[in-house]
Structure 1
Amino acid sequence: MLRITELRLPLDHAPDALRPAIAARLGVDDVDLLGFTVFRRNYDARRKAAIVLTYTIDCEVADEAAVLARFAEDRHVRPAPDSRYHLVAQAPADFYAAQRPRPVVIGFGPCGILAALVLAQMGLCPIVLERGKAVRERTKDTWGLWRKSVLNPESNVQFGEGGAGTFSDGKLWSQISDPRHLTRKVLDEFVKAGAPEEILYVGKPHIGTFRLVSMVEKMRAEIVALGGDIRFGARVTDLLLEDGPADEAGRTRHLRGVVLAGGEQIRTDHVVLALGHSARDTFAMLQARGVFMEAKPFSVGFRIEHPQGLIDRARFGPNAGNPILGAADYKLVHHAKNGRSVYSFCMCPGGTVVAATSESERVVTNGMSQYSRAERNANAGIVVGISPDDYRQDRNASGPVSPLDGIAFQRAWESRAYVLGGGGYRAPGQLVGDFVAGRHGKAVAREFGDVLPSYKPGVTLTDLAEPGNESLPGEVLAAIREALPAFERQIPGFAMADAVLTGVETRTSSPLRITRGKDCQSLNVAGLYPAGEGAGYAGGIMSAGVDGIEVAEKLGARMIAGG
C-alpha cells in the first residue's frame, strides 16, 4: 500500500477525477491502479477565488517496488503506515478466577469512555462510576436550564454521560503528537458507534450534539457487552489509601478503593481518574487526601457572535456556501501590549452559545453546534491566558500557588456574571461597538442590533467593563479590547458594532494538573491514574480520548502482568 500526500484538485472537480489524477501522479496506467481510498481530504483557501482540495490517498498498484524506486526522492509518495490499532495486552479467560479487584474508571466523558472501552477490550471488565445521569436524562436536565432556568448541579453540561464534549461542536481533531495513530482508533470507534464515515477522512471532522448522544449510548452498550459495568449517580467522595512498601517509583501510599456519596465502598487497586475540568468538589477531596496536584495556566474571556455568512464570505470569498466547504471557521491570535495573549477558542460555526454552569447562581458560557452547523450565528470564545500568579488568592504568600486557587478565581467571576446578568442564569452581554469604544453608563446600548444572541435563558445587555464592577480582570478586558480591531484586519466585519459579546467563559481548561509519572500513575499514590481534561492532560474530545486509551493501556498491561 502506498500513501500519496498533497494531491491537489480544484474545488469543483468531477466525482470521477480522483482515479486518473492518482494514476497520473504515480505515472502508472489505469489498469495498474488496483484500488485506492481517501485517507484525508482538506482544503487550501489561501486564494479565495481558487480554493483547491488537498488529498492524502492510500492506494494499491501492480508493481509497488518499482513505483517507490521511481519516487525515492519524493516525500509525498511513501509506503502507507499501519494505522490499525493493536491491543498492548489481553487478559486470559480465567483472569478473574483469582478474585482480583476490577479496575475502576471515574468519569464517563470522552476520556473515561475510551479508557473503559480499551480496558473492556483487554478483558478487564472495568467498573465505571459517573456522578451524573445517562445521556438522554442528562439532556432533559440540560434543556431544563436553558429553557426554564432550572439547574441540576449533578446533571448538566459538565456532568453526565458523554462529558462536556456532548454539548459542544463535537470537534474531532487535535494537534497532539500521534505516532501510534491513536486518533484513528478514536475515529474508528466513533464510526462503529454510528458517526458518519466522513469523519475518517475530512480534514476537520466534527459530529455535533444530537449525533453524539446516540453514539455515546452505543459505546456504553459495547463496554457492557464486553463485561464492564456502568453506574450513574455514583459520585466518588473519598479514596481508600494504605501506607506500604515503596513501589518502583518510590510511592509508599497505595490505592485500595473508593467511597461513594452514599457510603458504599468499592475495593480496587487501579483507578483511572477521568474527571472533567469542573469536578471541583472532587479536586478538593483529592487535595485533602494529599494527592499531588499543582496549579496551571488557563484562560478566561467572552463568547463572541457574528452572522455565519460574514465568516463564510471572509474565509471563502465567492466560494462561500459551497457544500464541500461547509460553514467556515477561524483561528485567531493577538499578542496585546500589556503582555497578554488573546486567542479564539472552541470556534463553533453555525452554532449557539450555551449555559454551561454546574453550580448554583453562577454563569458560565460555552459553544455548541449540531452536525449540520446550520444555525444563523457563528460563535467562539475570545479568551486571554492567565497564570497561577494572576489568580493566587493569598497575595502575601510565597511559594507554589495552591491548586485550588484557580477554582476560587473562576467562581468569583462566574458569580459576578450571574449578578450582572440579572439572575435566573441570564448572561451579561455587550455590543462589540460599545465595548471597543469603551462606552459606559447611558452610552451603552440596551437593545440588540442585527446580531441576536443565541444564549438561553437569555442575555442582558450591560457594561462588561464598568469601572469598579468589571465582568473580568482589567488586564483581560484591556487585552480583548485591543485584540478585536486587530482581528478585524484578518476577518473584515469581526469588530462590527452589532456583534455580541456574552460573558463569561471561564472553563477553557482545568485550572490544575494532577501530576503523573511516566507510568501514568499519580506521583505519590500508586494505583491512581489521572487522565484527560480534568487532570490537565487533554483539551477537547480527541485528545481526551487518546489520553484515555494510553492510560488504560498502561493500567491494563500492569494488571495483566501482575502489578
Structure 2
Amino acid sequence: MLEVSDVRLHLDEGVDEGACLAAGRRKVARLLHVAPRELMAIELRRRSIDARKKNDVHLVCTFRAALADAVREREVLARLSDEEGRRVRAVAPEAPSFPVYAGARPTNRPVVVGAGCAGLFAALALAEAGLEPLLIERGDDAERRGAAVARFIRTRRLDPESNIQFGLGGAGTFSDGKLTTGTKNPAHRLILETFVAAGASRDILWDAKPHVGSDVLPQVVTHIVARIRARGGEVRFRARLIDIERASDGSLRSVTVEHREPAPAGDAGAPPSEPATVERIACDRMILACGHSARDVFELLSRRGFHLERKTFAMGVRIEHLQRTVDRAQYGAAAGHPALGAAPYKLVAHPRDGRSVFSFCMCPGGEVVAAASEEGGVVTNGASESARAGRNANAALLVNVNPVDLPGSSPLAGVELQRTCERAAFAAGGGDYSAPAQLLGDFMAARPSTGPGSVLPTYPLGVAWTALDRVLPPSIADGLRAGIPLLERRLRGFTAPDAVLTGVESRSSSPVTVVRDRTCAAEGAPGIYPCGEGAGYAGGIMSAATDGIRCAEALIASLRPR
C-alpha cells in the first residue's frame, strides 16, 4: 500500500468523504503516473484546512492507495522523481488491537475506578483480554446523568455525585468531544476506530481536528459500556471508592466502595434517597482513573500515604465571541463554505512575566456549561454539539499556576486554590449558581460590567455582571491582562470589547500528580495503577484513553510469569 501526502484539494472538492475520495483518486493516480482504474482501493487518512492565506483557503489531504500487488507498487515508487518521492511512501496495512492475555484467570478480578475515557478504555482493554474487570463509577449512566444535569439547570439543586464532572464518560461527555492530541501513539487509531464502532461519525478517522459532539458522546460511551459487559466485565454506577487497604509491603489487598441506588426511573436525575451500603472488595490490582475533579480520592490517597506531588495546572475564565467573527478571522471570504464548518482556534502567548496565557478546549458554535461538582461553588466549562451550529464560539482562557505559586507544602494546595475561587464565584454570582461575568473591554480597563453587548452569554443558569477580579487571584487576572493583547496578533477580533468573560474555569487539569514508577504502578504501591487526567498523566480524551490502555497493558504484564 502507498501513502500519498500533501494532496491539495479545492474546497468544493472536499465537502465530504465521498467528494475527497473522488478527487483524491484522480490526483493520486496523476502523481503516481498510473491510470485511475489501477487504484484497487483508496482511503482518506487525513484532511486538514490550510488557511494561512485568506485568499487561498484550501484542503490538504493524505490518502492510502493499493495497486495490484507489492511488485507493482515498488515499480511505481522506483520511477517517481525525487520531488514526487518525498510525498509517497510504502506502508503496511494497520490492524490495531487491544492487548492479549493468555494466562490463567487471576483469583481476584481487576478493579477500575472511574468511567471517564481513561477508565473506560482501561476496562475495555482488560475485558477484551478476558479478565472480566469490575468498573465502578461514582456518578450515573449517561441517561440518568443527563437527567441530573437538566434537573440542576431547572431547579439549581446540584447532585454532587452526578453532574458535568461525574458520571459515565467523565467530564469529556459534556464537552465538544475533541480528539486532537499533540502526541503520536499506535493506540490512537484503535481509539478512533472504537469510537466509530460505538456510534461516532466516520470523519473522526480522517479529520485533522476530529470531534464527536456532546449530543453524540452519551450514546458512544453507553455502547462502550455494553461492549465491556458483553465480554464479561461488570460496570456499577453510583459506586464511590472510599478506602484502600494495603499490605505491609504496600501492595493492594482490598478496596471499600460505597453504593447508592439510583433514583426511581420516574424521577431520573433526583439524588437517591436510600441510605448508602458499604462493600469491601478483595483485589490485588486496581487501575485508579478517578478524574481531575475527584478531590475526595486525592484526600484519601494523602491519608493513606501515597506519594502525591503538586503539578502545574491552569485557571482562568471562559471567553465567548460571535462564531461568525471567528470564522471571518480564520477563513476570510471563504467563511461559511460547507467544507469548512465553524472555525476553531488555538492560541498561546508568553508575556514577559513568564506566565503563559492560552486557550484550551475551544468549542466552535457551542455554549458555556455549568460544571460545578461541589455545593456552593461555580465552575465553567465548554460544550458544543456535533453540528457546531451555535451562535457563539467559546474557549477556556487560562493562565499557568506553578507549584511555587502555592502556599505551604501540602500537595493538595492547588485543590484548595481551585475551591477558594469557585466559592468566590458562587458568591459573586449571587449564591444561586449564576456565574460572574464581565465584558472583555471592561476587564482590561478594570471596571465592573453592567450588561452585555452583541455577544450574549450562554451560561445556562444566567450571569451576574461584575468585576472578575473579585474571584480570580491577582496573578491570574494580571496574567490575562498581559496576554490578551498578544493573542489579538494571532486572531483578529479576539480583543473585541464586548466579548464575554465568565468565571471561573478552574478544572482544566488536575493540580496533583499521583507519582508512579516505570511499571505505571503507584510508587511504593504494587498493583495500583494511577491513570489518566486525575493522576496527572493525560490532558484530554485521546491522551486519557491512551493512558488507560497503557495502564491495562502494565496490569496484564504484571500477571504474566517473570
TM value normalised by structure 2: 0.92
Say if 2:58 is the partner of 1:52: yes
Read off the aligned partner of 2:252 and give its amino acid letter. Answer: L
Partner residue, 1:449: 453
Distance between the aligned counterparts of 1:434 and 1:89, measured in 2?
58
8 Å CA contact 2:192, 2:205 repeated in 1: yes
1:306 equivalent among 321, 338, 358: 321
Q: State how 1:118-129 maps to structure 2 within 5 Å.
A: 118-129=125-136
Partner residue, 2:198: 193
2:158 equivalent among 148, 151, 155: 151
Say if 2:42 is the partner of 1:27: no
Read off the aligned partner of 1:189 and give its amino acid letter. Answer: T
Partner residue, 1:319: 334
Gap regions ≥5 residues in structure 2: 259-276
Read off the aligned partner of 2:431 and give its amino acid letter. Answer: G
Read off the aligned partner of 1:80 and give its amino acid letter. Answer: V
Q: What's the offset of the Cα at 1:7?
A: 1.2
Tell me the alpha carbon deviations over residues 125-170 of structure 1, each in whole angstroms, 9 at most, x when there is no partner.
Answer: 0000111111110111112222321100000011111100000110
Say if 2:364 is the partner of 1:349: yes
Distance between the aligned counterparts of 2:561 and 2:255, measured in 1?
21
Say if 2:71 is the partner of 1:67: no
8 Å CA contact 1:340, 1:476 repeated in 2: no
SS of alignment partner, residue 115 of structure 1? helix
Tell me the alpha carbon deviations over residues 450-473 of structure 1, each in whole angstroms, 9 at most, x when there is no partner.
Answer: 1110002111000112xxxx3211
Partner residue, 2:114: 107
Partner residue, 2:555: 555
Partner residue, 1:139: 146
Partner residue, 1:493: 493
Distance between the aligned counterparts of 1:177 and 1:30, measured in 2?
32
Distance between the aligned counterparts of 2:80 and 2:61, measured in 1?
18
SS of alignment partner, residue 168 of structure 2? coil
Distance between the aligned counterparts of 1:109 and 1:220, measured in 2?
11
1:266 equivalent among 281, 284, 287: 281
Q: What's the offset of the Cα at 1:19?
A: 1.2
Q: Which moved more, 1:549-558 or 1:539-548?
A: 549-558
Q: What's the offset of the Cα at 1:491?
A: 2.1
SS of alignment partner, residue 482 of structure 2? helix
Partner residue, 2:97: 86
Q: What's the offset of the Cα at 1:84?
A: 2.0
SS of alignment partner, residue 194 of structure 2? helix
Distance between the aligned counterparts of 2:128 and 2:216, measured in 1?
24
Read off the aligned partner of 1:253 and give its amino acid letter. Answer: G
8 Å CA contact 2:12, 2:339 repeated in 1: no
Partner residue, 1:525: 525
Q: What's the offset of the Cα at 1:512?
A: 0.6
Partner residue, 1:429: 437
Partner residue, 1:409: 417
Q: Please tell me the root mean square deviation across aligned C-alpha atoms, in Å.
A: 1.5
Distance between the aligned counterparts of 2:546 and 2:98, measured in 1?
14
Read off the aligned partner of 1:75 and give its amino acid letter. Answer: R
Read off the aligned partner of 2:497 and give its amino acid letter. Answer: A
Q: State how 1:366-515 maps to structure 2 within 5 Å.
A: 366-392=381-407, 394=408, 401-439=409-447, 444-465=448-469, 470-515=470-515
Partner residue, 1:247: none
Q: What's the offset of the Cα at 1:325?
A: 0.9
Read off the aligned partner of 2:239 and give its amino acid letter. Answer: A
Distance between the aligned counterparts of 1:549 and 1:68, measured in 2?
36
Read off the aligned partner of 1:43 and give its amino acid letter. Answer: I
Tell me the alpha carbon deviations over residues 21-52 of structure 1, each in whole angstroms, 9 at most, x when there is no partner.
Answer: 00111112223222211011111111122112
Distance between the aligned counterparts of 1:147 and 1:84, measured in 2?
47
Read off the aligned partner of 1:530 and give its amino acid letter. Answer: P
8 Å CA contact 1:337, 1:479 repeated in 2: no
Distance between the aligned counterparts of 2:550 and 2:335, measured in 1?
40
Q: What's the offset of the Cα at 1:513?
A: 0.6
Distance between the aligned counterparts of 2:61 and 2:356, measured in 1?
34
Distance between the aligned counterparts of 1:279 and 1:195, measured in 2?
27
Gap regions ≥5 residues in structure 1: 244-251, 395-400
SS of alignment partner, residue 208 of structure 1? coil
Say if 2:3 is the partner of 1:7: no
Q: What's the offset of the Cα at 1:81?
A: 4.3
Alpha-carbon spacing, 1:474–1:87, altered in 2? closer, same or farther (3 Å): closer
Read off the aligned partner of 2:432 and give its amino acid letter. Answer: G
Distance between the aligned counterparts of 1:81 and 1:437, measured in 2?
58
Tell me the alpha carbon deviations over residues 342-373 of structure 1, each in whole angstroms, 9 at most, x when there is no partner.
Answer: 00111000000011111010011110010011
Tell me the alpha carbon deviations over residues 88-140 of structure 1, each in whole angstroms, 9 at most, x when there is no partner.
Answer: 32335xx34xx610000000011111111110000000000111111110111
Which aligned runs of 4 or more in structure 1 are off by greater than 6 angstroms? Answer: none
Q: What's the offset of the Cα at 1:86?
A: 3.2
8 Å CA contact 1:148, 1:457 repeated in 2: no
Distance between the aligned counterparts of 1:433 and 1:494, measured in 2?
11
SS of alignment partner, residue 54 of structure 1? strand
Q: State how 1:322-337 maps to structure 2 within 5 Å.
A: 322-337=337-352
1:233 equivalent among 226, 238, 243: 238
Partner residue, 1:41: 47
Distance between the aligned counterparts of 1:446 and 1:413, measured in 2?
22
Partner residue, 2:272: none
Distance between the aligned counterparts of 1:347 and 1:148, measured in 2?
28
Read off the aligned partner of 1:461 and give its amino acid letter. Answer: W
SS of alignment partner, residue 403 of structure 1? coil
Q: What's the offset of the Cα at 1:482?
A: 2.4
Read off the aligned partner of 2:189 and give its amino acid letter. Answer: R
Partner residue, 2:268: none
Read off the aligned partner of 1:30 and give its amino acid letter. Answer: P
Read off the aligned partner of 2:422 and give its amino acid letter. Answer: E
Distance between the aligned counterparts of 2:437 and 2:214, measured in 1?
25
Alpha-carbon spacing, 1:82–1:555, altered in 2? closer, same or farther (3 Å): farther
Partner residue, 1:249: none
Distance between the aligned counterparts of 1:105 and 1:156, measured in 2?
20
Distance between the aligned counterparts of 2:188 and 2:335, measured in 1?
30
SS of alignment partner, residue 468 of structure 2? coil
Read off the aligned partner of 1:446 and give its amino acid letter. Answer: T
Partner residue, 1:255: 252
Partner residue, 2:305: 290
Partner residue, 1:171: 178
8 Å CA contact 1:10, 1:50 repeated in 2: no
Distance between the aligned counterparts of 1:86 and 1:207, measured in 2?
22
Partner residue, 2:264: none
Distance between the aligned counterparts of 1:445 and 1:37, measured in 2?
52
Distance between the aligned counterparts of 1:218 and 1:72, measured in 2?
48
Q: What's the offset of the Cα at 1:383?
A: 0.5
SS of alignment partner, residue 246 of structure 2? strand
SS of alignment partner, residue 486 of structure 1? helix
Distance between the aligned counterparts of 1:267 and 1:169, measured in 2?
38
Say if 2:168 is the partner of 1:161: yes
SS of alignment partner, residue 143 of structure 2? helix
SS of alignment partner, residue 409 of structure 1? helix
